[in-house]
Structure 1
Amino acid sequence: MFADLIRRMSAPAPQPLSDPDARLALGALLVRIARTDGHYDPAEKAQIDRTLMARYQLSQTEAASLRADCEALEAEAPDTVRFTRAIKDAVAYEQRLSVIEALWAVVMADGQRDQHEDSMMRMTASLLGITDQDSNAARLRVTAS
């Protein structure tokens, strides 16, 4: 279903993503982080929906539908590098910080932080070109709210 998008994202010199494809890439990354600990919790799904609703001005139904597409894309895609490269190429640093905040919000949604999620967050932040300090500050902003 998403073979063309995955092929374009994994090209040696990928083109910037269209808005619909960028939505899918970000959503799939949110799903991937939620699935990292082996438990895809309803609270994590709800947080993903809230993130998609806020970021793209979607209704709850539209966000849930987009999340379902993102779940399918995440299941088909072989690695995180493709998502992060596509997002990094398409999004300015400040906006990537908001991506890290969204990822931390999903990690923290189930009330538990696990070593696999921490490891995935460190790798993802690095692949997005986000410093450890900025990622930690984003985590603190998310947990303070």
Structure 2
Amino acid sequence: MMDRIRTFFLDRGGAPAEGARHSEDELHLAATALLVEAACMDDDFDAEERATVQRMLSERFGMDPAEAGRLVDLAEQKVAESVELFSSVRTVKDRFDHDERVELLEMLWEVVYADGSLHDYEANLLRRLAALIHVTDQESGQARKRALAKLNIQG
């Protein structure tokens, strides 16, 4: 799996064929890149946020912890080298169904709150991402509430 993800990172190819579904690797890669970007928005990708991302990858995508850790490392490297998120956002917007996009947004809320607080940059990023992936403000707010409940944080 990691070789396929590395290949995808290095060769993003053209646009998908009309109506094409995303591969499992694309889901994992796009989700992880956005999760890492959200975690890095406050300039502090701490151990708690890293553990949250790895746990979510393990739980939601059935990855073993070592594989999730390698994917986070790879995504962190690519986020550091990238000047834009458009390719990950485009993959999510174009290839994920609506429920998958809402689920990803919930994961993003959980990551930005993993350290117990929400930085203004994190909130701004999630507002922008929700709009870009066609998730309504109401759906984003509900996803935020679910994430806060999972973390036992009062919103």
Taking structure 1 as the reference length, what is the TM-score of the superposition? 0.89
Choose from 106, 120, 135 the match for 2:111.
106
Equivalent AA in structure 2 for residue 95 of structure 1:
E
Per-residue deviation, 1:17: 4.0
Choose from 103, 111, 129 the match for 1:124.
129
Aligned with 1:125: secondary structure? helix
Aligned with 2:34: secondary structure? helix
CA distance in 1, matches of 2:82, 2:120: 23
Between 53-62 and 118-127, the greater mean CA deviation after superposition: 53-62
Instruction: Please list every run of 5 or more consecutive structure 2 residues that lacks an aligned counterpart in the other structure.
Output: 1-5, 151-155
Equivalent AA in structure 2 for residue 75 of structure 1:
A
Residue 41 (structure 2) pairs with residue 41 (structure 1) = no
CA contact under 8 A between 1:24 and 1:73: conserved in structure 2?
Answer: no
Aligned with 1:98: secondary structure? helix
Choose from 68, 74, 84 the match for 1:63.
68
Taking structure 2 as the reference length, what is the TM-score of the superposition? 0.83
Q: How does 1:1-145 map to 2 (within 5 A)?
A: 2-5=9-12, 8=13, 11=14, 14-15=15-16, 17-145=22-150
Per-residue deviation, 1:60: 1.0
Residues 28-77 of structure 1 deviation map (CA, whole Å, 9 limit, x = unaligned): 11000000111111111001001110122111111111111111222233
Equivalent AA in structure 2 for residue 4 of structure 1:
D
Aligned length: 139
Task: Tell which has more relative contact order, 1 or 2 (C-alpha 8 A, sep 6+).
Answer: 1
Cα 1:73–1:21, aligned 2, differ >3 Å: closer, same or farther?
A: farther
Cα 1:40–1:115, aligned 2, differ >3 Å: closer, same or farther?
A: same
CA RMSD in angstroms, aligned pairs only: 1.5
